[in-house]
Structure 1
Amino acid sequence: MTAVYLNALGLINPLGAGKAAVARALFAGDSSGMKPAAGFLTEQEVMVGKVTAPLPEIPKSLEKYDSRNNRMLLAALQEIEPDIRAAIETYGAKRVAVVLGTSTSGISDNEPGIAEKVKTGAFPDGFDYDRQDNASLALFARSYFGLEGLAMSISTACTSSAKTLTSARRMIAAGLCDAAIVGGADTLCRLTLNGFGSLDLLSPTLCNPFSRNRNGINIGEGAAVFLMSREKATVRVAGIGETSDAHHMSTPDPEGTGAFNAMRRALEASGLAPEDIGYLNLHGTATELNDSMEAKAAFELLGKVPCSSTKPLTGHTLGAAGSTELAFLWLALKEESGALPPHVWDGEADPELPPVNLVAAGTCAPEARAMMTNSFAFGGNNISVILSREET
C-alpha cells in the first residue's frame, strides 16, 4: 500500500481549541471540560464533554450548510487552512479529496423544529432537513475550499472518522487524488444522549474506564482533521486493521474476537511486532462489556503495552472519536518529552479483567516510535490504526 503521511492537524474538543491547548490539557490529564449539563435528558442533568470555545461563523455564501457540527468542523479546518490552501496550490482543486466522518451531523440544530412538528403538526419556517444530512460535512468542506474533486462522508457510528483514513488512503493509492482532508466532527444532541440513556449506558458521574466501579459512558463533542498525502512528514499511517464481527446490533462480542483481529491486522499491515507498539489508546468507553472485551483483546495481543482511555477527558465524541484519538497519537509522537496521555480513573482495578498496563500521570516514553488506537462501533464495526514517527 502507498505510504501516506498526516501532514497537518487541526482540532477542537472539551480539552481546548487548537493543538497547543489540547496537548497541554491532554498530557496533564485535565478532565475539567467534563461537566453536568441540563437540556439533554428530561428533568435531569447528564455528564457531558461540551466545547465552550467560540466557534467561527459559516460564510454567508455557504449559509445552507450552517450547523453547529459544521462550525465545529470549521474551527478545526481553520487551524490548518494554510496547509490545505498550499496543497490545493500544489496539486490542483480536482486532486484534493474530502473524506470526513460524522454520526450526528446537524441533528442538534434540527431538534427544536422536529419538536415543534410533533407538537403542532408543522415544521417551523426555516427548517431544513438537509442540515442533518451526513453528507453536509464533506460538501461544506469541499465548498469552503473551492474543491472540485471527490467528497464523501462516512457514518459508521463510533468508527466513522477513523475509517476516513482507510478510504482516503485507497483513493491516493488508486490515483484518484494526491491529497485528502480526513477526520470528522460530531456534536452533542438530545437524540444520541437519549438513545444511550435508553440502553442504560450513561454514567451520572465522570466515566471510569477499566475500574471495578465503572458504570457507563459520558458523551462528548469535537472535531479533528488532518491533511493526508504522500509527502513525507513526521507522522506516517503505518497500518490499519478493520473487522466486522456483526455479533449484535449494540453489544460487542464478549470475547473481543473482532477487536483482537482488527488490532492483529493493523500490526500485520505495519510490519511491526507487538513489542514495537509504545502506546495504545483504548476505545475504553467505561461500559461493562466494552472494557471487558477490549482488555482481553489488548492483553492477548500486546501484553503490558502502556495504554489509556482518554474518554474521561473528552467524553465519547462518537463519530469524531476515531480522528480525535488519532490526533492524540499525533500529538504524543511529536511531543519531545515523550509524554503519554494518562489514564484518569479511581485506581481500583477490576479483578475480572486482564492486568492491562494503564498509564499513570507523568509517564513518558520518548523511545516510542509507533502507537495504536482502537475504535469500536455498534454492529461490531471495528478499526485499529497504527501511526509511526518517521525521520524527515
Structure 2
Amino acid sequence: MTAQSIRPLLLAHYTLSSCLGSGLDATYAALQAQRSGLSDAAFETARLPCYTGRVAGVEAVSLPAELAAYDCRNNQLAWLCLQQDGFIDAALAARARYGATRIGLFLGTSTAGILQTELAYRQLDTEGHFQPGFHYAETHNTYSVAAFVRAALGLQGPAVVVSTACSSSAKVFANAQRMMAAGLIDAAIVGGVDSLCLTTLYGFNSLQLLSSQVCRPFDAARDGLSIGEAAAFVLLEREDARPARADDILLLGVGESADAHHMSAPHPEGLGAQRAIRAALAQAGIGAEDIDYINLHGTATPSNDAAEGRAVASVFGAETPCSSTKGATGHTLGAAGGIEALISALALRHAFIPGGLHLQQLDPALAINYQSANRPAALRRVLSNSFGFGGTNCSLVLGLRGALQ
C-alpha cells in the first residue's frame, strides 16, 4: 500500500480529558490562559518530590452496573472522557450508520489498569491469594481498556491496544488508517488512556527522570519530566463521510519508524524521529515548508529534547514555530499522542499557537523556533510528534479543511 493510496481521514468527533480539564472547551480555556494543570499534590501512597497532572473527578466516576467488572482508575478515566462533548452519542450514531462490526477500535496505553493490581496486592489473603473481587483481565490487562470501551459502545469490529510507550496513542491513527484503506472497516475510534499509578511514578523516579520542579521542556536547565494522566478519543471517518465544513480537521499523513538504538534513550541525532517526520510529510504529499506549527513531543528530559530538537532542525531548519504542551498537561505517556493530536486540532480550529510553559531560557544548543507564549496564527497544517522508549516514533500531520481549499 503506497502513500498515494492513503486518503485523508476526517476527525469527525473528538474529546479529551487531562489535568487541564475534561472536554474541548475546558482544555481550550486552559490553553488560552496558559494555565498548567500540574501540581505537587501526592498521589495514593507516593510521596515523591515531583509534580503530577491528575484529572479531577476520576475517583467519583461510577461505571454502569453491567460494566462493574471493569472498574479501575484507568477505565473510570476512559468513561469520564467518553461522556464529554457528546462523544458517546456520536459513536452510537456511527454504529447505526456502519454497523457494529464495521467500526474498529484502536487505543493506546502504557500501563492500563496496573494500579488495580497494586491495590489488590495490599489485600492478599493469609495464603497469598488475591481477593475474589479482583478482575485482572478486565482491569490490569493491557487490552482491558479496549474491552471496556468496546463493551460500553456495543462495538463488534476489530479491537486493538497498542502499547509502544509514549507513541502508543499516535500510532493507533496508523492502525485505523491502514484498516480503512484495506476496506476492512468503514470507521474507527482511536485514542488512548493512561492513568496515574505507583509503578509509573516510582519507576520513572528510579530512572532519575522525574523533575522535582514543574517540567520545563527545551529549557537550558531542564532536568526531567512531570507525569500526568489523560484520555483522548477520536471518531475517524472517510473525508467525504459528511458534507464538508471549513472547521473540519483532517488526518493528512502518518509516519512511523523505529530507532533500534537503545532500550530507552533516543538516537542522539534523532534519526528515527527524522524518518517518522519525513514519512508523515511524504504521505501527506507536502514539504517541510508546508507545516505551520509543530507540537513537539518535548518531555523535558535532557536527552529526549536534544534529540528531537536536532531532528526538527534537520528537517525544518530554524524557522517553523514549535512548542511542547507537556508543561501544561504533564507527560501522559500512552495517552500523550492522542492528547497532543487533539491540542493540535484545537490550535488549527482556533487559529493559535500554544506557548510552551515554564521556559526560562531556551537551550542555546537547539536551533529551533520555540514559542513560549501563545500567539494568533492562521494555521493550515500542523505536525504532532510522539516518540517513545526504545525508539518507537510516530508523527501525525493534521490539516484544517477550510484553509486547504
Q: Which residue of 2 aligns with 1:374?
A: 385
Inter-CA distance 347–14: structure 2 relative to 1 (3 Å threshold): same
Question: What is residue 293 of structure 1 aligned with on the other side?
Answer: 307
244, 254, 257: which one aligns with 2:271: 257
Q: Which residue number corresponds to residue 123 of structure 1?
A: 130
CA deviation string 1:33-89 (max 9, x = no partner)? 211132467543421000113554211111111111112112222221121111111
- 2:347 aligns with one of 309, 320, 332: 332
Kindly state the Cα deviation for residue 94 of structure 1 after the two structures are TM-superposed.
Answer: 1.2
In structure 2, the residue matched to 1:89 is: 96
Determine if the alignment matches structure 1 residue 14 to structure 2 residue 22: no
Aligned residue runs from structure 1 range 171-190, under 5 A? 171-190=179-198
Deviation at 1:360, TM superposition (A): 3.4
* CA deviations over 1:291-324 (Å, ceiling 9, x no partner): 1111101011112211111111011000000000
* 1:120–1:216 Cα change, 3 Å: farther
Contact 1:28 / 1:361 at 8 angstroms: preserved in 2?
no
- Residue aligning to 2:41: 37
1:78 correspondence with 2:83: yes
Cα shift at 1:356: 1.1
Q: CA deviation at 1:199?
A: 0.7
For 1:322 and 1:290, the matched residues in 2 are separated by 16
Decide whether aligned partners of structure 1 residues 42 and 105 sit closer, same or farther in structure 2, where only a CA change above 3 A counts: closer
Would you say the 8 A contact 2:125–2:131 is kept in 1? Answer: no
Q: Distance in 2 between matches of 1:371 and 1:269?
A: 14
- CA–CA separation in structure 1 for the residues paired with 2:127 and 2:41: 28
The residue that corresponds to 2:281 in the other structure is 267
* Residues 261-294 of structure 1 deviation map (CA, whole Å, 9 limit, x = unaligned): 1111111111111111011011101101001111
Indicate conservation of the 8 Å contact 1:180/1:228, yes or no. yes
Identify which range, 238-247 or 120-129, moves more after superposition.
120-129
Matched, 1:164 2:172: yes
Which of 106, 109, 112 is residue 99 of structure 1 equivalent to? Answer: 106
Query: Which letter maps to 1:372?
Result: L
| Pick aligned residue for 1:62 from 64, 67, 76 | 67
Kept in 1: contact 2:106–2:189 (CA 8 A): yes
For residue 13 of structure 1, what is the amino acid of its counterpart?
S
**Equivalent in the alignment of 2:143:** 135
For residue 370 of structure 2, what is the amino acid of its counterpart?
Answer: L
Q: Tell me if 1:302 matches 2:312.
A: no
> Which of 357, 371, 377 is the matching residue for 2:369?
357
Q: Give the match's secondary structure for 1:34.
A: coil
Q: 3-state DSSP class of the match of 1:195?
A: helix
* The 10-residue stretch of structure 1 (302-311 or 75-84) with the greater mean CA deviation from structure 2: 75-84
Gaps of 5+ in 1: none
Instruction: Answer whether contact 1:139 1:152 (CA < 8 A) is retained.
Output: no
CA shift for structure 1 position 28: 2.3
Moved more, 119-128 or 139-148: 119-128
Contact 1:4 1:228 in 2 (8 A): yes
Q: TM-score, normalised by structure 2?
A: 0.92
CA contact (8 A) 1:339 1:363 kept: yes
- Cα separation, 1, equivalents of 2:313 and 2:228: 27
- The Cα offsets for residues 239-261 of structure 1, whole Å up to 9 and x where unpaired, read as 11111011111111111100111
Distance 1:34 1:41 in 2: 18
- Name which of structure 1's ranges 381-390 and 357-366 shifts more when overlaid on structure 2: 357-366
Kindly provide the CA deviation profile for residues 84-103 of structure 1, in whole angstroms up to 9, marking residues without a partner as x. Answer: 11111111111111111111
Query: What residue ranges of structure 2 are gaps of 5+ in the alignment?
Result: 1-5
Counterpart-to-counterpart distance in 2, 1:382 and 1:66: 31
Per the alignment, do residues 83 and 13 of structure 1 end up closer, same or farther by CA in structure 2, a change over 3 Å counting?
same
- The question of 1:114 aligning with 2:121 is answered yes
The 1:39/1:4 distance shift into structure 2, 3 A limit, reads closer
Query: Contact 2:23/2:81 (CA < 8 Å) preserved in 1?
Result: yes
The two structures have a TM-score, normalised by structure 1, of 0.95
CA distance in 1, matches of 2:224, 2:27: 24
Tell me the equivalent position of 2:236: 228
Q: What is the distance in 2 between the residues matched to 1:360 and 1:116?
A: 47
Cα distance in 1 for partners of 2:93, 2:346 equals 22
Contact 1:159 1:377 survives alignment (8 Å): yes
Cα distance between partner residues in 2 of 1:120 and 1:349: 56
C-alpha contact (below 8 Å) 1:339/1:362 kept by paired residues: yes
Distance 1:10 1:371, change over 3 A: same
